Chains A and B, each alone.
Chain A
Amino acid sequence: MPKDGGIGASSKRREDLRFLTGKGKYTDDINLRDQTYAYFIRSDVAHGTINSIDISAAMKMPGVERVFTASDFEGVGGVPCGWQVTDRHGQPMQEPKHPVLAEGKVRHVGDPIAVVVADSLAEARDAAEQVEIDITELPAVLNMKDALNDGATKVHDDLTSNLCYDWGFVEENRDAVDAAIKGAHHVTTLELKNNRLVANPMEPRVAVADFDSSTDEYTLYTTSQNPHVIRLLMGAFVLGIPEHKLRVVAPDVGGGFGAKIYHYAEEAFCTFAAKQIGRPVKWTSSRSEAFMSDAHGRDHVTKIELALDKDGKFLALRTDTHANMGAYLSTFAPSIPTWLHGTLMAGNYTTPLIYVNVKAVFTNTVPVDAYRGAGRPEATFQLERVVDKAAREMGIDPVELRRKNFITEFPYATPVAVEYDTGDYHATMDKLLELSDHAGFEARAATSKANGKLRGFGIAHYIEACGIAPSNLVGQLGARAGLYESATVRVNATGSISVMTGSHSHGQGHETSFAQVVAEMIGIDESQIDIVHGDTAKTPMGMGTYGSRSIAVGGSAMVRATEKIINKARKIAAHLMEASEADIELKDGQFTVAGTDKSVAWGDVTLAAYVPHNYPLEDIEPGLEETAFYDPANFTYPSGAYGCEVEVDPETGKVTVLGFTAADDFGNIINPMIVEGQVHGGLAQGIGQAMIENCAYDDDGQLLSGSYMDYAMPRADDLPMFTVDHSSVTPCTHNPLGVKGCGEAGAIGSPPALVNAVVDALQRAGHDVTHIDMPLSPDRVWAAMNS
């Protein structure tokens, strides 16, 4: 029987009531009295020298409050990078300044040059047309390999080259890996691209800033996944505002997928300008602006080599990747191709020797940072593609080759520095084969063939790492932040509870699922619990939501704080019942003395805490409010088997996704309905990457896919119904809920499954096709078949 509340129940989402009736409160719905509107003038060339900016005509336009350029930001810091990677030779990465507004040069289409602030957006836009900017265009740096040639045009004149870092992992393994590959029975080699994507949360970014001169306090409303991180980065590093004078609020946020993690120049601009002009400043991104100013994702070019013995056992793996950083370093950009990518290269397999080389490169493109999965999709894609290719080259069934190399004993220390705590990869593979009716595939393929279509089935088995931690380790790896999470549990006098969490919900349903956890622990109804998030004035310092960390890290902090509450409440209950604390049991919201019929209700205990007339004042303080900060001992390691069935039209190359099955192990599940929804969304993004999405630049650095007219977002009729399963459960051993996280899995496991399926379809039809780069558009598939 499904539960009707608490952990494991598919509780309906409480946040839906406001979203379904138009009462959601998103940042663009916030308007402050006497507010002004900011309009950003952005570079329309990829690379150039700014000769002059003439704002005099614009300043005279109706409604204009002020026009800002880089000269107004002298003394203001650049937009900081939050992670410093150390290269193969022990040197820190090259780290250019990222000014709020372009200083002397523009470095990508969309780089902000000047901002008009006016009484209305229309007036700001009209005045922007009067700003005269003279730019001498320079050659654009686009191809990553060319960018590293001697004499290549430099994106940043003050750096020695376009190389951000040359990272080797694990550097000590390099020679052993080379030797193992040289002497192997078989080596499978694959060169591939992981296409550049744009996250495209449906809500564009917005910032509304206010400065109160009576208290010297700033308030910034912004579309952020992590308001405390924005407060720290912007306050301490850009504008020099002490944190107690800066409040950052991220109210309802319409999706993030990574793109709303980072601190952006527009946030700093609005906050700075609000004080300068003495009026609130609002900026709302258009979708066109979003395409050229939200951080992009992926964009790796990789060569991967897998060495196998004659029986198909993996002996060694070597990868060589160029990772595009874009023109500047976005907040967490350097960590994505390194610590979130290299550490995952063991996948689900016992490969004993692994070496990962990553060259991060500056180009004249929008900065690249984490997008749903962030490094892990790139690792999974190349690994699951090369394993599939190896299976075909060696004549071994792709399922069997994977099974032959699965890790089966846990904990398992990989050669790439991480230790998997739990997993059961055969179980998820079994579940996939069952749910996708793998046994019936040949019959279905025969039917397709009779209809003139080519049917294929592709598999991928992924590992992912969520809740990056612990803080002292990530500090050694270059993180300039901690990666704990926080929660304050405030019990009110009559027993209702407010939980203030440092996690942030922008679609994940925390207001429902987090309440389920606390309800389960105390045994009261979920409706008695409110989850408060997204406001630095209300919540303790927390790191926010990304990397599928919220339930594993934020949920754990909430459990620890609730445990403190229960411990104190037990003391109060013991006092009220004149019993020993050791004998007090809490069940269904009642404290009882074990073995007796004496009990007090939750509400009686909470009332006593705030009206402490009959209360052990000599032993404990009044009140019932506790905070916990939780710093995980390790990552969590969700895993799963994904299967995709496709049909290819040999006449046109058009691929149709007929079915997609995801069999995941997320550890324990809090709300199955929400978990399944997360997987559906991830699958859509992964299938989108593999099938239709592509962020393209031309040779001059012009963004070709700059709107929904040009960037193919998956629509309802591009996708099938999904089959998802999470019945394989190996609980995480190091967090109190045994949870692993589910937010990114769908986007990690699906691209290789889909490409494997298309290659399978073509090979079954006799085409000598071993790889096609994503997205698998009809022209690419047709060309591969007819080359």
Chain B
Amino acid sequence: MTKVTMTVNGKTVSKEVEGRTLLSAMLREQLNLTGTHIGCDTSQCGACVVHVNGEAVKSCTMFAAEADGAEVKTIEGMANADGSLSTIQAAFQEHHGLQCGFCTPGMVMSAAALLKDNPKPSEAEVREYLEGNLCRCTGYHNIVKAIMAASGQDVPAVAAE
């Protein structure tokens, strides 16, 4: 067992983990941050995306020990300080960018990372960036709309309402 210390959603946490413990497992099982979801076992689905030192990472692809000393942000840390939905979260609700909600945390975390690097992406750029996030419910149509809207772009220009 190894002791790891990291900042998760602004709070310092220390836990004893096995070498094989994945960051996703530590978040879900030891920190009870169950918003990070596990949808596959081959790092394909993206339901587990979190931010590690500001970068989008599939937390099932990283050992908890590798995140020692890192700043981690999960879906639970994405709302505004007053608890209201952040711009991206609000856009997902406004444009019905989620149905069952299972892929949603990963989608929101990926969208946030995209808009940080590319504040005004084209529709094609949004679709390409989301290659690592699977959604079975929405057909991506409204997810793309939501991300375009969150970037301040004109949604009807990319999609017939």
Say yes or no: B76 contacts A12, CB within 8 Å.
Answer: no
A685 to B41, CA, bound (A): 22
A16 to B137, CA, bound (A): 14
- Contacts of A255 on B, CB cut-off 8 Å? 99-100, 102, 136-137
Say yes or no: B101 contacts A254, CB within 8 Å.
Answer: yes
- Contacts of A700 on B, CB cut-off 8 Å? none
Assess whether A19 is interfacial by the CB under 8 Å rule.
Answer: yes
- Contacts of A21 on B, CB cut-off 8 Å? 35, 75-76, 78-79, 85, 89
- B75-119 to A contact mask, C-beta < 8 Å, 1/0: 110110000010001001110101111111100100000000000
Say yes or no: A680 contacts B40, CB within 8 Å.
Answer: no
Report the nearest A residue to B79, measured CB to CB: A21
Say yes or no: A22 contacts B140, CB within 8 Å.
Answer: no
Q: How many residues of A sit at the interface, in one of the four size bands?
A: 35 or more
Assess whether B13 is interfacial by the CB under 8 Å rule.
Answer: no
A526 to B74, CA, bound (A): 31
The number of residue pairs between A and B whose CB atoms lie closer than 8 Å in the complex comes to: 184
A374 to B96, CA, bound (A): 26
Assess whether A610 is interfacial by the CB under 8 Å rule.
Answer: no
A674 to B128, CA, bound (A): 25
- Contacts of A680 on B, CB cut-off 8 Å? 138-142
Segment 121-156 of B: residues with Cβ below 8 Å from A: 123-124, 126-128, 130-131, 133-144
Say yes or no: A716 contacts B76, CB within 8 Å.
Answer: no
Say yes or no: A201 contacts B143, CB within 8 Å.
Answer: no
Q: Which of A211-219, A706-714, A765-773, A776-784 contacts B (4 or more CB under 8 A)?
A: A706-714
What's the minimum C-beta distance from A572 to chain B, rounded to whole angstroms?
A: 38
Assess whether B70 is interfacial by the CB under 8 Å rule.
Answer: no
- A593-632 to B contact mask, C-beta < 8 Å, 1/0: 0000000000000000000000000000000000000000
Q: Given A13-B93, A24-B35, A717-B131, A203 and B100 touching (CB < 8 A)?
A: yes
Say yes or no: B42 contacts A708, CB within 8 Å.
Answer: yes
What's the minimum C-beta distance from A550 to chain B, rounded to whole angstroms?
A: 14
A722 to B130, CA, bound (A): 17
Assess whether A704 is interfacial by the CB under 8 Å rule.
Answer: no
A24 to B101, CA, bound (A): 8
A677 to B89, CA, bound (A): 17
**Interface of B: prevailing SS:** loop
Say yes or no: A721 contacts B78, CB within 8 Å.
Answer: no
What's the minimum C-beta distance from A389 to chain B, rounded to whole angstroms?
A: 28
Assess whether B3 is interfacial by the CB under 8 Å rule.
Answer: no
Assess whether B44 is interfacial by the CB under 8 Å rule.
Answer: yes
Of the residues A22, A204, A684, contact of B75 by C-beta under 8 Å: A22
Assess whether A323 is interfacial by the CB under 8 Å rule.
Answer: no
Say yes or no: B136 contacts A713, CB within 8 Å.
Answer: yes
Say yes or no: B93 contacts A287, CB within 8 Å.
Answer: no
A28 to B32, CA, bound (A): 11
Segment 41-90 of B: residues with Cβ below 8 Å from A: 41-42, 44-45, 47, 74-76, 78-79, 85, 89
- A663-678 to B contact mask, C-beta < 8 Å, 1/0: 0000000000110110
Assess whether B4 is interfacial by the CB under 8 Å rule.
Answer: no
Report the nearest A residue to B133, measured CB to CB: A716
Segment 1-50 of B: residues with Cβ below 8 Å from A: 18, 20, 28-29, 33-42, 44-45, 47
Q: How many residues of B sit at the interface, in one of the four size bands?
A: 35 or more
Question: Which of A254, A507, A723 counts the most chain B CB atoms within 10 A?
Answer: A254
Q: Given A21-B89, A721-B141, A202 and B102 touching (CB < 8 A)?
A: yes
Say yes or no: A202 contacts B100, CB within 8 Å.
Answer: yes
Say yes or no: A681 contacts B136, CB within 8 Å.
Answer: yes
Q: Given A20-B89, A122-B20, A203-B102, A286 and B96 touching (CB < 8 A)?
A: no
Say yes or no: A22 contacts B33, CB within 8 Å.
Answer: yes
A506 to B101, CA, bound (A): 9
Say yes or no: A707 contacts B34, CB within 8 Å.
Answer: no
A202 to B76, CA, bound (A): 20
Say yes or no: B127 contacts A717, CB within 8 Å.
Answer: yes
Assess whether A17 is interfacial by the CB under 8 Å rule.
Answer: yes
Of the residues A15, A26, A677, contact of B142 by C-beta under 8 Å: A677
Assess whether A683 is interfacial by the CB under 8 Å rule.
Answer: yes
What's the minimum C-beta distance from A289 to chain B, rounded to whole angstroms?
A: 9
Q: Which residues of A contact B (CB under 8 A)?
A: 12-13, 15-26, 28-29, 31, 122, 200-204, 252-255, 257, 284, 286-288, 506-509, 673-674, 676-677, 680-685, 707-709, 713-717, 719, 721-723, 746
Apart from A255-B136, A713-B134, list 9 A-B contacts with CB within 8 A.
Answer: A21-B76, A22-B35, A26-B34, A28-B38, A203-B39, A287-B40, A680-B139, A681-B136, A721-B144
Closest 7 pairs (CB-CB, A-B): A22-B35, A19-B101, A254-B102, A684-B139, A507-B100, A708-B44, A507-B99
Q: Which residues of B contact A (CB under 8 A)?
A: 18, 20, 28-29, 33-42, 44-45, 47, 74-76, 78-79, 85, 89, 92-94, 96, 98-105, 108, 123-124, 126-128, 130-131, 133-144, 158-160
Q: Mind listing 20 A-B residue pairs with CB under 8 Å?
A: A13-B93, A21-B75, A21-B78, A21-B89, A25-B34, A202-B45, A253-B100, A507-B101, A508-B99, A708-B40, A708-B44, A708-B45, A715-B140, A716-B126, A716-B127, A716-B140, A716-B144, A717-B130, A717-B131, A722-B141
